[in-house]
Structure 1
């Protein structure tokens, strides 16, 4: 009994060992199996792609041109022959690259014929806005803003006409400017708000543009532009003239100017006797030095049109702002200013001028007819309403201006900016 169990165990062990040995021999044979030589692969296995070989025929070899016997070459039947024109057959070392060489792939008009490959075609430029869901501007005030906020944007009434007009106004203020643009602010009559217009126009441009803006006081009679903006007149245009040879950088220029917000201010000479010496040639020298550092230069030209500095201002001016008042006297002086300019050869400045009417008009005056008179002669007419803060004649604080006054000066800035050249003039 014990011997039987031993024999059974040995038989079972022999079977397992025999199976293991067979697996070892099989694996050894697989390990010793050598892959076919790529140079002879096509000759040995090419018929599997193009059909089984047919009966041998004697004749010249198609590849080498040599005469071979019946058992040296095989010819495939025409029915089993592959379209060699579409799939060129290669021999030798080229056979291993048959599947990966792009030149072996059939083409249609020079484009590879592959499944799922689309022929190249014209494509438009990449547009980021086309990838986003369109969203209009959010209302910024009134019931439109309340409704938009209460519904979390699900109900969007859109911007109001006033908001659309304000956005368009800012777009015009930020018009592109190439080079330096000089704006002369002038009037035959004093006391109509010429210095106020220069100051507020400069503040509006400086607050909404990224370039450097300068307000220059060229009034020969101790102008008050710096007093209205900064209250600082330690360095004046006369000091800059005396040191003009040393002004060769922005740092040197900033020593002679004061800052009101982002607006640079150059004060006039406060001694009237010295101010009379501010001639046309001196103004041109100042202009040539400062034009290298500023994009927009506003000149408060003072009262009158016949002093020497005014001649230099008009010689280099690119735009003109004529200040008047919505009264018979103030409007008449503004109209005479335009007449004087035309008579002295400045028709182009008059055609592109912006007329500004500052203050409260009278009910007895036809404001529509007044606007129509200047609109026929100039490019634009802007009315600045009466503002108690400006009427005091003190330091100007833009935050204390009425909304209507701020909008009016922004409209003036937009009208001036519309004349900015987009390219440097030759």
Structure 2
């Protein structure tokens, strides 16, 4: 009970200005959008201020499906063209998708293949929307995409999603070495989410965590979950208790770093 109280307090901590948490990975199919959706739903549940989950990957990603969006009308590029400083939160949310149990979603596309999201559009939207939302979770394209690199460089906290495999851990370690070379202290505001896509893992998770934590990041293991593996909308009440606990830990770690990161 004491641990649950501590985590809840971390998730509810006040922020002076909007915090951006960028989620990415080194390749697709490792659960990046699933982790972004889990974080978005977690912040929606625990926080009393506005929370946005933003898709910055126009490659027909799964974030709207994972968030339970029934329809999509506006995209990042659409909103970037009409945003003005005079707009109020009530104006902005008219262009967003309401998420069940609270919060809003802004997709990167309208459910069809379109022009890739560019860095200028990404910067315009995220800088403008930070005024309205206490926390924005960004589901980025995979690295080394230009928007993903920009998001990782400019976010207040970063979550790198990696599969619990030798290849995934090795590739993620290379990403962490790159983050360590950025002008500001990126590693101290980075969390690695190790995802399991099978109930039977052959990798030594303890050794994998230790290898990644050598860089100074925090590592959270998201166990295999049958509900997540089935795809479709995420219903938090159908998640295994171990998955819920790991998600809360991941959210608390990411937000702590986002607040500490300035």
Q: Which has the higher strand share?
A: 2
For CA contacts below 8 A with separation 6 or more, give which structure has more relative contact order: 2
Provide the residue aligned with 1:264 in structure 2: 104
- Structure 1 residue 273 corresponds to structure 2 residue 114: yes
* Distance verdict in 2 for CA 1:381–1:195, change over 3 Å: same
Q: Cα distance, 1:363 vs. partner?
A: 5.1
Q: Work out the number of aligned pairs and report it.
A: 258
Q: How does 1:251-330 map to 2 (within 5 A)?
A: 251-260=90-99, 261-269=101-109, 270-274=111-115, 276=116, 278-307=117-146, 309-330=147-168
Structure 2: how far apart are the matches of 1:327 and 1:315? 26
SS in 1 for 2:22: strand
Query: How has the CA–CA distance of structure 1 residues 420 and 189 changed in structure 2, closer, same or farther, with 3 Å as cutoff?
Result: closer
Q: Does 1:248 align with 2:110?
A: no
Q: CA deviation at 1:266?
A: 0.5
Render the CA deviation track for 1:159-194: whole Å, top value 9, x for unaligned: xxxx22222221222223221111110111111100
Q: Conserved in 1, the CA contact under 8 Å of 2:22 and 2:139?
A: yes
Highest Rg: 1 or 2? Answer: 1
Structure 1's unaligned 5+ residue stretches are 1-162
- Equivalent residue of 1:418, what SS? helix
Q: 1:338 to 1:272 in 2, by over 3 A?
A: farther
Residues 14-413 of structure 1 mapped to structure 2, 5 A cutoff:
163-231=1-69, 232-245=71-84, 248-260=87-99, 261-269=101-109, 270-274=111-115, 276=116, 278-307=117-146, 309-343=147-181, 345=182, 348-359=185-196, 360=198, 362=200, 364-413=202-251
In the superposition, relative to structure 1, how do residues 254 and 297 fare at CA in structure 2: closer, same or farther (>3 Å)?
same
Q: Structure 1 residue 420: deviation in Å?
A: 4.2
User: Shift of residue 312 of structure 1?
Assistant: 3.3
**Counterpart residue number, 1:150:** none
Query: Would the aligned equivalents of 1:341 and 1:347 in 2 still touch at CA under 8 Å?
Result: no
CA distance in 1, matches of 2:80, 2:248: 33
Change (3 A) 1:312 1:375: closer
> Where do 5+ consecutive residues of structure 2 fail to align?
none
CA RMSD of aligned residues (A): 2.1
Contact kept, 8 Å, 1:172 with 1:414, in 2: the verdict is yes
Give the alignment's TM-score, normalised by structure 2. Answer: 0.90
TM-score by length of 1: 0.57
